[in-house]
Amino acid sequence: MNFQLIGVNHNTAPLEVREKLAISACRVPGLLQELLQSPDVIGGLILSTCNRVELMAETRNGGADLRQFLRESCGMAAELEPYLYEYHQADAIHHLFRVAASLDSMVVGEPQILGQVKEAYAIARTAGAIGSQLDQLIMRAFAVAKRIRTETAVGASAVSLASVAVELAEKIFGSLEDKQVYLVGAGEMSELAARHLMDRGASSVLVSSCSYDRAKDVANAINAKAIRFEELYDTCHLADIVITATSAPHAVFRREHGELFLKRRQYRPMFFIDISVPRNVDPEMNKVEGIFVYDMDDLQQMVADHVANRRKESERAEAIVAAEVARFQADLQTLDVAPMIILLKEKMENIRLAEIRHVRGRLGQLSAEQESAIEALTRGIVNKLMHYPISALKDAARDAGAGALLPVVERLFNIPDEDKDQSYRGRNSLTCAGTKREDSSRRVRVA
């Protein structure tokens, strides 16, 4: 069993590369089904956010060619491959734990990424793409993120891309008290930005989204005004600052829009802060005199200040991640010997029951108390005899030595091949059945 992870993020690829690889949520189930067609893939998960696109897979045998999958199914151009990173086994586990704990985020400690990982997990489960060990890995990633939030101050005074964007707007103008702000997009990031803007004293906020009902929900929550999306270009010139955070696969604002807005504003300057991937604001807008565009890459320097302030807590969090990776690997290795342990217990139990049946005729009529004593006696003998072999198997698994010990145990206890095959098949079918039952009871969105 293997874990593989491939992707790009804000550390390895500029924005123009990340937006080319961005995958919309509606495409994910279909892509996961394509991924599962590979005979070497057991399960997978796709995480696509403004700062990363990653594919995590549980594979068998020698693993799967995830680069080839990105080329064929996601249409990745050859020139983008140098920006990819690829991790296997412990490195893949380590990376996922860091991502879920927000240690790999542009803004270390921001709380949104854990929700995004949970949403990606829910989509993958609904698509039937989560294998048993991948499920355990992701559950452990959630637990690690919670532990880091509890035991360190990485998430204290939490910042987010939305708050950094608002901080940038405040630095541009000095004060937001008399400034009109326009939020384009009504997702979680926009709502966070709106709340930060109101806290910083913005005089008024307009909210527009392709879902007018969602725009109204955000506007009502912060005492702002909702604008229908079809009225966006007729009203956008009213804003001094425009913050865009939509999932549109193309530019919402182009150069000609900027020129029109400036004319309507009598050439008063206008600032666009684009926290979307793909970008909502065409970089050509920056060439219009009086229009100033800031995108995700422009926020990096401000983010660096937050990272420096959190360095000590981040070091504590990294130590927790390293310990949890080692612990998870040990647990996985112990699972490798679980079928043999089950087989040994079943074999010893069958021997115990057979011996009781063999002598029962010579014991005469037994009272309930005597029956209970025989049961306790024989069970105790079997448990004590099996304690050291089972402990040795578990220790060998943790030390990656189970491969050498298992054949010895099979010979010592005379475990025939057909029993081994049946045990492994039984364990796998139980795992699959359990996964299916859990799937049907957890179809609701993971919050």
Q: Which residues have CB under 8 Å from 413's CB, separation 6+?
A: 344, 347, 389
Active-site positions read 50
Distance CA 275, CA 244 (A): 6
The closest alpha carbon to 296, from 335, 258, 342, 244, belongs to 244
Name the amino acid, one letter, at 196.
Answer: H
Closest by alpha carbon to 414, among 311, 316, 343?
A: 343
Name the β-bridge partners of 244.
184, 274
270-274 and 180-184 beta bridge pairing: unpaired
Partners of 253 in beta bridges: 281
If one counts every other C-beta atom within 10 angstroms of the C-beta of residue 345, the result is: 14
Which structure tokens are listed for 125? 């489960």
Number of H helices, E strands in the chain: 17, 10
Nearest to 253 by CA among 218, 300, 293, 210: 293
State the Cα torsion 67-70-72-73 to the nearest 10°.
150
Q: Cα(254)–Cα(416) distance, rounded to whole angstroms?
A: 72
Task: Please tell me the distance from the alpha carbon of residue 35 to that of residue 203, in angstroms, as a whole number.
Answer: 49
Return phi, psi of residue 52, to 5°.
-160, 150
DSSP summary character for residue 445: P
The distance from CA 59 to its chain's CA centroid, rounded to whole angstroms, is: 18
Contacts 24+ apart (CB under 8 A), 367-370: none
| Cα–Cα distance, 392 to 389 (Å, whole number) | 5
DSSP label of 294:
E
Q: How far apart are CA 145 and CA 140, in angstroms?
A: 9
The token duo for 367 is 């009272």
